[in-house]
Structure 1
Amino acid sequence: MMIKNGNILIIEDDADDKEILEDVIVSLGNTNKIVWKINGQEALSYLCESNEKILIIFCDMNMPIMNGLELKRLIDGDPVLRKKSIPFVFYSTAATESAIEEAYTTLSIQGFFKKENDYQKTRSIVNYILEYWKNCIHPNS
């Protein structure tokens, strides 16, 4: 089954970056509810406490309290959260070789994208990601 409906979770500590991503998502005609959490700890609490379906998680890498890698390790280590199979992509300026390697080799992520300074390029990337996951067969639809 495809999961077209579901919240889009943005985990981002920079309000300007969050606004740009949110604007891009809305400009693409998406009507999915957008949920914003400013760090991994807030996101983890939301994921553990909410019964709402999640279409996708866009997560920054560097954040205070709990960074993206720490959050993804905890999601992967939690049987309930792991079973939800929520698509998780890193969307970050911190696209270092070591971060990318760790994300793909030790964690179960579905993509790693570098934040762009070009609005149209950002729009194109986000559109591709959302369309892919809206049309992907998913176990928890």
Structure 2
Amino acid sequence: MKMHRDILVIEDDEDDREILEEIFRDLGYKNNIIFFSDSTEALKYIRKPEVNPFIIISDINMPKLGGFELRDMILEEEVLADKDIPYIFISNAQDEYSIKQANKLFIQGYIQKTNDYNRYKEKIKNLIDFWKENINTFSSKKQ
């Protein structure tokens, strides 16, 4: 089932990755959680024909290839778009520009990072639980 496939987390900040690793460990999902610190490496991985993750959780502000650019590339490459992977942004940015840009890229969620561990964990749990229940209901592609 798709809901048990890998969860990809693309986050360049080591401290943020460690917090997310701890959150996923605490939540105990059976999915394999794969972390990428470099979005270009994540793109190479996603392009592999045998890779079809359950969900992608991506930071926005990253060196080399930012989250907006990465999402745009996934939408533009037919082979990647056809994988129909839900794409969630996770960011400190809550400004109007960032939210509008994210929505233009047909994302399926936008989570603001928080220093409150329990609140952050609750946000991640709600996100994953929603997609596990509704993975076949929504399309992550442009219509």
TM-score by length of 1: 0.91
Aligned residue for 1:9, secondary structure, equals strand
Alignment partner, residue 22 of structure 2: 23
Q: Which amino acid aligns with 1:67?
A: G
Q: Deviations over 1:67-88 (max 9, x none)?
A: 0000001001011111111111
Partner of 1:113: 111
Identify the residue that residue 61 of structure 1 maps to in structure 2: 60
How far has the Cα of 1:128 moved from its partner? Answer: 0.3
Conserved 8 A contact 2:3-2:135: no
- Matching residue of 1:124: 122
Q: Which 4+ residue blocks in structure 1 deviate beyond 3 angstroms?
A: none
Gaps spanning 5+ residues in structure 1: where?
none
Contact 1:95 1:113 in 2 (8 A): no
User: Paired residue for 1:49?
Assistant: 48
Deviations 1:12-69 (A, max 9, x none): 0011101111211121121211111113211111100251331111100111100000
Do 1:39 and 1:67's aligned partners in 2 also have CA atoms closer than 8 Å? no
Show the counterpart of 1:11: 10
Q: Secondary structure at 2:127's aligned position in 1?
A: helix
Shift of 1:97: 1.1
Asked if the contact 2:23–2:121 (Cα under 8 Å) also holds between the matched residues in 1, the reply is yes
Structure possessing the higher relative contact order (Cα contacts under 8 Å, 6 or more residues apart): 1
Distance in 1 separating the partners of 2:49 and 2:129: 24
- How many angstroms apart in 1 are the aligned matches of 2:45 and 2:34? 9
Taking the aligned partners of 1:39 and 1:99, their CA distance within structure 2 comes to 20
Structure 2 unaligned segments of length 5 or more: list them: none
CA contact (8 A) 2:10 2:35 kept: yes
CA gap of 1:137–1:35, structure 2 versus 1, over 3 A, is closer
- Give, in whole Å, the separation in 2 of the partners of 1:53 and 1:23: 24
RMSD (CA atoms): 1.7
1:75 pairs with 2:74 = yes
